[in-house]
Amino acid sequence: MDQKLESYFKAAVSVDNVVFGFDNSGLKVLLIYRGADPYRNCWALPGDLIALDTDLTSSAEKVLQDLTGLEKVYMEQIHTFGKVNRHPYGRVFTVAYFALIKTEDYHVHASSWAEEAAWFPISDIPDLPFDHNEILEYAKNMLKSKIRRQPIGFELLPKYFTLTELQNLYESILETQFDVRNFRKKILSLDYLTDTGMKQSSVTHRPAKLYKFNTKKYNNLVHSGFSVELNFPLFPTENLTV
């Protein structure tokens, strides 16, 4: 019985982070260049085995900070992957998290055994070790469905942003396009954006108004049971193909 019990306690658990960022050229994912075995010398999700004296949630934050220098970012658990042979060193379960960061506010720098850290466009991801491509796919879908229900997109934008930038973000993630007028009407009707009164500068055309996400207003809305789901109007023929 004790023997039996011991046999269960031979697994390791790791955390793999899917870190999304966004800039004008679209949605990005942060990868590190592995400087440690296994799969040394290839690009992978920033992830590592968990020390057994640390809570799971803290571990996710710690792993991210150790490898990329990022801290205090929005993180959420995605899914746990546990195929028998997913890791060459033994039985390793991995808990995947996603993180959203404002690329402008953070400087990413590889550390610990990560030799490099770099942003890859979501549409151009190399072959990754372990089951990391599967994890990434899962994360993309989760982001996609999540952003339709909660305003997490603001975690990816700078503090002040234009409605055009916001629309670009939604279009990138949802891989679709919205009518400009309807998008603005809808997002403004949700009533959690504040017009800062400021405008874009140093652009060579009509400057756009700068908005910010109003957390307080948003929380009030949620607290009073108001729906903050987007349910966006799509372009015609976009959603009904028979």
Partner DNA sequence: CGAATATATTGTAAAATTTACAATAATTAA
Partner DNA sequence: TTAATTATTGTAAATTTTACAATATATTCG
Provide the token pair at 66: 């150790």
| SS3 at position 219 | helix
Nearest distance from C-beta of residue 209 to a second copy, angstroms: 30
Q: Is residue 209 a contact point for DNA (CB under 7 A)?
A: yes
Residue whose CB is less far from a second copy, 37 or 195: 37
Compute the half-sphere exposure of residue 184: CA atoms within 13 Å on the CB side of its CA: 10
Distance CA 181, CA 186 (A): 9
Nearer to DNA, 90 or 236 (CB): 236
Which of DNA, a second copy, none sits in contact with 5, Cβ below 5 to 8 A by type? a second copy
Q: What strand order describes the sheet that includes 26-34? A: 43-44, 26-34, 114-121
User: Which one, 160 or 232, has the nearer CB to a second copy?
Assistant: 232
Positions 129 through 188 that interact with DNA (CB under 7 A): 162-164, 179-182, 184-186
- The set of residues, in sequence order, having a beta carbon less than 8 Å from that of 144 and lying 6+ positions away, is 173, 174, 175
Find the shortest distance in angstroms from Cβ 205 to DNA: 3
User: Which entry of DNA, a second copy, none binds 163, CB below 5 to 8 A by partner kind?
Assistant: DNA
For 199, half-sphere exposure in the C-beta direction (CA atoms, 13 angstrom radius) is 8
Shortest Cβ distance from residue 100 to DNA (Å)? 22
> Counting beta carbons within 10 angstroms of the beta carbon of residue 72, is it exposed (0 to 12), middle (13 to 18) or buried (19 or more)?
exposed
Shortest distance in whole angstroms from residue 124 CB to DNA: 23
- The number of C-alpha atoms within 13 Å of 196 and in the hemisphere containing its C-beta is 15
When CB distances are held under 5 to 8 angstroms depending on the partner's kind, the choice from a second copy, DNA, none that residue 226 binds is a second copy
Which residue, 104 or 175, has its beta carbon nearer to a second copy? 175
Q: Give min distance, CB of 46 to DNA, in A.
A: 33
CA 168 to chain centre: 16
Q: Does 86 interact with DNA (rule: CB under 7 A)?
A: no
3-state SS of 127-188? CCCCCHHHHHHHHHHHHHHHHCCCCHHHHHCCCCECHHHHHHHHHHHHCCCCCHHHHHHHHH
| Among 145, 54, 51, 139, residue whose Cα is nearest residue 99 | 139
Distance, CA of 90 to CA of 49 (rounded, Å):
12
Q: Which parts of this chain interact with a second copy (CB under 8 A)?
A: 5, 7-13, 49-57, 59, 77, 79-84, 89-91, 93, 95, 224-227, 231, 239-242
> 22 or 97: whose CB is closer to a second copy?
97
- Identify the residue among 203, 215, 219, 228 touching DNA (CB under 7 A): 203
* Nearer of residues 102 and 184 to DNA, judged by Cβ: 184
| Site of interaction with DNA (CB under 7 A) | 162-164, 179-182, 184-186, 189, 199, 203-209, 231-236
